[in-house]
Amino acid sequence: MDDQTNTNKTSKKRVLFIIAAVIALIVFQRELLIPLAKNAATSGLFLIDSKDQGSMIAQSSDMTQFAFQHCNAHLKASLDDKTTVTLAEKPLNVWSLGSYEYVVSAEADVTQEATPTQKHKYVCRISYKNGDDISGGADFANWSLDGLSKIDADAQDAP
pLDDT tens profile 24-49? 999 999 999 999 999 888 887 766 66
Q: Which residues contact 153 (CB under 8 A, 6 or more apart)?
A: 112
Quote the CA–CA distance of 126 and 65 in Å, as a whole number: 12
Q: Three-class SS of residue 107? A: strand
Q: What is the pLDDT of residue 156?
A: 44
Residues in the chain with pLDDT < 70?
A: 1-4, 46-50, 52-53, 150-159
**Whole-angstrom Cα distance, residue 145 to residue 132?**
18
Q: Are 142 and 136 in contact (CB under 8 A)?
A: yes
The 3-state DSSP class for residue 97 equals strand
Neighbouring C-alpha atoms within 13 Å toward the C-beta of 15:
6
Q: What is the pLDDT, as a whole number, of residue 157?
A: 45
Q: pTM for this one?
A: 0.63
CB-based contacts of 80, cutoff 8 Å, min separation 6:
none
pLDDT at 68: 93
pLDDT in the model for residue 84: 84
**H-type helices in the chain, by residue range?**
2-28, 34-42, 62-78, 153-157
